[in-house]
Each structure stands twice: as C-alpha cells, then as structure tokens.
Structure 1
Amino acid sequence: MGSCERLFNRQRTVHEILGGGLVADVILWRQKNLSLGILMVTFTAWVVFERSGYTLLSLVSSILLLLFAILFLWAKSAAILNRPVPPLPELYLSEEKVNEVAAIVRTHVNDLLCVSQDIALGKDSKLFFKVAVFLWLISFIGGLTDFLTLGYTSLIIILTVPALYERYEDCIDKCMIMSYRKLQELYAKFDVEIVSKVRRSILEKKKLS
C-alpha cells in the first residue's frame, strides 16, 4: 500500500475491505468480462423497463408464461412423436437446505429486531440518528427518482467509485486528509473566536452593571 498516510488510518487494501473474494474482484474490475457483463445486462434491463412500459412484475410474469408455454408444448409434442421430454433438472428443495436458509434468515431478522428495539427504547441515541438520517435520505432520493433508475445508478456508483479510488487512492487520500486538517484548523479558529466574543460580552455586561 505504500508509505502514504491512509484515510481513516486504515491498514487494509480496498480489495480486503470489500471482502477479498469474487464480489471484490467484480467491483474493482479484476474480472473485467464479468463486471462489464453485469453492467450491460443491468443497462439493458433498465432500458427495457423505461422504454417498454413494463413493470418488474409484468415482465417476470410474461417471461414465465412464455417459458411454461414452450416447455408444455415441447412435452406434449415429445409424447406424441416419442421424443425425449425437456431436460429439466430436478426441482426439489431438501429439508436440510430449507433449514439452513431459515437459520440464516432467522439470525439476521433477530439482529435487526434487536437493533430496532434498542432504537425504539432510546438505548442507542447515535444509532437512532444514523438510522433516521439514512431513512430520510432514502425517502428524499425516492421522491426524486424511481426504484429502477435508483438501482441502476447505485450499480454504476458501486462499479466505478471503488475502482477509481483504488487506482488513485494515494492522491485521493492525500487530498482528503489535507482537506480534513484544514477544516479542523478552521473549526478551531472559529471556536476560539466564538469563545473570545462570549468572554468579551460577559466582561462588558459586568462593567455596565
């Protein structure tokens, strides 16, 4: 990572922060074909939804209807012509898989409920304000755009910002740290001026009295 001072004094690389697996490789464009494929598929889906007037539910329903119609006609014609039936995989969920997924969902839901309870009972004020700001931002952004456009824009940000940051992190960290220190200096100066004005005001009141 070099000897340059890092933002937030972090020790890990961007790739490690993102998990270090396939997801991190895709986000940082180390799997360029896969990253580009995801981007193009998402862009195509966005164009289809925006230009065709389809909603997600209507599009999924239409695709499933077409798929089932093709398989049904294939199976019927295969029975008449003594041909093989459609090569479908076995559609079956084992009890073990269901229990595993249920356990994962249960753990996350319980964690969410626990956090929600702490917020509702006022046990964590900082978390309350964070959640409130986050929900307000979602509400504000949701009022400016629709869900699909927001999802596509979010994907663009995910597939560009981390990769650009990793490429130019030395320069970005240096600029951000310098800006942060400048703001600290301005805040300290402003704080001193406010304290001085308050003291002068108190002294003047004492003299007048």
Structure 2
Amino acid sequence: MGDSDSSRRSVHHALGGGAVADILLWKKWYPSAALLVGSTALWFLLEVAGYNLLSFISNVLLLLVVILFCWAKSASLLNRPLPPLPNLELSEATVAKAADEMRVQVNYALSVAHDIAIGGNLKLFTQVTIGLWVVSYVGSFFNFISLVYFCTLLSLSVPVLYDRYQKTIDEKLGFVCNIAAEQCHKIDNKILQKIPLFSNDKKIQ
C-alpha cells in the first residue's frame, strides 16, 4: 500500500503536482470530463461538421460578448448581481514563470542544435533525426486539429493508466529499452565503421 501511494505521488509530482496534474490523472472528475467532452465537441465541429476554426472562434466570442453585455445591462436595470467574472489580468509572477519556462526549453533546443552542428554528436543526431522522422510520419496521417485532439486524448489516458499500472509498465519498458539500446549501439558501430576517419582510428589502435 505504501509503495502504491509513493508511486502515485511520484507520477503526480512528475506532472507538476498542480491543477494540470489533477486533471490529467482524473483526480477531479469534473474538469477532466469537461476537457474531454469539450475537445471532442470541438474536434467534431471542426472536422466532421466542417466549421472553419477562425469563424468558430469569432462566433463563440461574439456570443459570449453579447451574453455578458445583456447580462450586465439587465442586472443594472433589475438590481441583480453582475456576471461573476474573475479579475481578468495576468500577474507579473505568472508571466515571469511562463517566460522562464520558455527560456529553459529554447536554451535546451539551442544546446541540442549546437551539439549536432558544432560538436558533431552522431548519437544525438541519430536520435533527433529518428524523432523528427516519426513526427513527420505520424503527422502525415492527421491534420493539425486531429493531431491536437489525438494528443489531448493521449494526455487524458496515458498518465492515468501509467499511474495505475506503473510497476508493470516500467518492467516492460525497461526490457524494450534494453533491446533498443543494444540495437542502436550496433547501428552506431556499423555507421562509424563506414566512416573512413573512425575506421582508420580503429585500425591504428
């Protein structure tokens, strides 16, 4: 029981430990279900019903503005409470945190590009190339809206499944990763042997 609780806490902590983690792990059913239903409805309207994204967003905002305006006017005439809107502004702390997180990600991407272009890191180059090829291959089967919806479904299913079956999944993934690492090592050695510089070094040694 203690191991199960600690593993669940680790998954929650890995996802940030905040409201986003609660939604992805379905700890609060209402926002998780609302995200699932809302994303499904949006995907249906844009992909199946054929609505244009820009027109859809404009119409939703127009409807929202009209409702809020009529609510405010009727509230002032009938002495009713105004729309319960929160304070609509971003704090400096929120903006600074988002900018700092973006800076970390951009610096990481730049460091990877530097290691490939300047450092000549063959292993990293192979990993990035395979990753981009997989993304390109998967993206050829979906348009942008369907891909975002697919990622949303994965976000609402994979973390909660991993949280429940973490031990079994870790065992299977460890076995697969060991096999993949062995195969990648063999491929890297074959590639290096075909490069004259590395093959000459090996002969000299």
Q: Distance in 1 between matches of 2:175 and 2:104?
A: 42
Taking structure 1 as reference, are residues 175 and 90 closer, same or farther at Cα in structure 2, changes over 3 Å only? closer
Q: Which has more radius of gyration?
A: 1
2:51 maps to 1:37: no
2:18 maps to 1:21: yes
2:54 corresponds in structure 1 to 57
Q: Distance in 1 between matches of 2:176 and 2:99?
A: 47
- Paired positions, count: 177
Deviation at 1:32, TM superposition (A): 1.9
Deviation at 1:17, TM superposition (A): 2.5
Identity %: 43
1:140 corresponds in structure 2 to 137
2:147 maps to 1:150: yes
Q: Distance in 1 between matches of 2:43 and 2:99?
A: 32
CA-based RMSD = 4.2
1:160 corresponds in structure 2 to 157
Taking structure 1 as reference, are residues 135 and 55 closer, same or farther at Cα in structure 2, changes over 3 Å only? farther
Q: Distance in 1 between matches of 2:86 and 2:2?
A: 51
Taking structure 1 as reference, are residues 135 and 60 closer, same or farther at Cα in structure 2, changes over 3 Å only? same
Deviation at 1:143, TM superposition (A): 0.8
Gaps spanning 5+ residues in structure 1: where? 5-9, 188-209
Give the structure-2-normalised TM-score.
Answer: 0.61
Deviation at 1:106, TM superposition (A): 4.7
Gaps spanning 5+ residues in structure 2: where? 184-205
2:135 maps to 1:121: no
Give the structure-1-normalised TM-score.
Answer: 0.60
Greater relative contact order structure (CA < 8 Å, 6+ sep): 1
Q: Distance in 1 between matches of 2:101 and 2:176?
A: 42
Taking structure 1 as reference, are residues 133 and 37 closer, same or farther at Cα in structure 2, changes over 3 Å only? same
Deviation at 1:51, TM superposition (A): 2.5
